[in-house]
Amino acid sequence: MTYKTIDSSRISISELMQPSHSNFGGKIHGGYILNLMDQIAFACASKHSKTYCVTASVDTVDFLNPIEIGELVTMKASINYVGRTSMVVGIRVESENIRTGEMRHCNSSYFTMVAKDDDGNSTEVPGLIVNDKNEVKRFLKAIKRIETKRSRQVEFESADFSHIDYLEDLSKYRVKIELPDN
């Protein structure tokens, strides 16, 4: 198996936000930012795997700060984790007021990308060489997110799942349960 460093596939892009990118509230549309994030995730994963890649899932997109028209948005992407055919690409989005130089962290997200061969079949990707404590931490966090997702799927998709087991937990939330008596 071949291995590649995280630095060898790290990508950064910047784009000036224009009025055509805005929503009805005058801020940059979240969907536009997600589109750019998907593009950089593709570029980063393809650079690592040397193949065409597709988006399998997007995890944890929290919009922390709005982006204004006229700001420079910079996205930084790196491979945080690799499986056999998949990669988790971590993306950080920052905006810069080009007049004042003020920088803000706008969001971070994790895109799971799958490498494909020319026939559209999943194909093996190179392993990952991690060089510092932050890279190890990102790799471990990706493993925890994967394990948590699998655990949730097992818990809620099992044949013996019963909502009755969760009614007491639900009482803490703003929900009123009105189920039929069958």
CB atoms within 10 A of CB 15: 14
Residue 100, pLDDT score: 97
Query: For residue range 10-49, what is the model confidence (pLDDT) as tens digits?
Result: 999 999 999 999 999 999 999 999 999 999 999 999 999 9
Domain parsing of the chain, residue ranges:
3-130
Q: Which of 45-54, 67-76, 114-123, 168-177 has the lowest mean pLDDT?
A: 168-177
Coil vs helix vs strand at 7? helix
Answer yes or no: is pLDDT of 1 > 90: no
Residue 182, pLDDT score: 63
- Residue 70 CA: distances (Å) to CA of 27, 94, 107: 10, 13, 18
Six token digits for residue 161: 């799942």
Residue 25, pLDDT score: 93
Residue 12, pLDDT score: 98
Backbone angles phi, psi at 16, to 5 degrees: -80, 130
Q: Which of 15-19, 126-130, 169-173 has the lowest mean pLDDT?
A: 169-173
The span from the CA of 82 to the CA of 57, in Å, is 14
Residue 94, pLDDT score: 98
Q: Which fold has domain 3-130?
A: Thiol Ester Dehydrase; Chain A (3.10.129)
Say how many Å lie between the first and final Cα of the chain, rounded.
56
**What DSSP state is assigned to residue 146?**
H
CA 38 to chain centre: 9
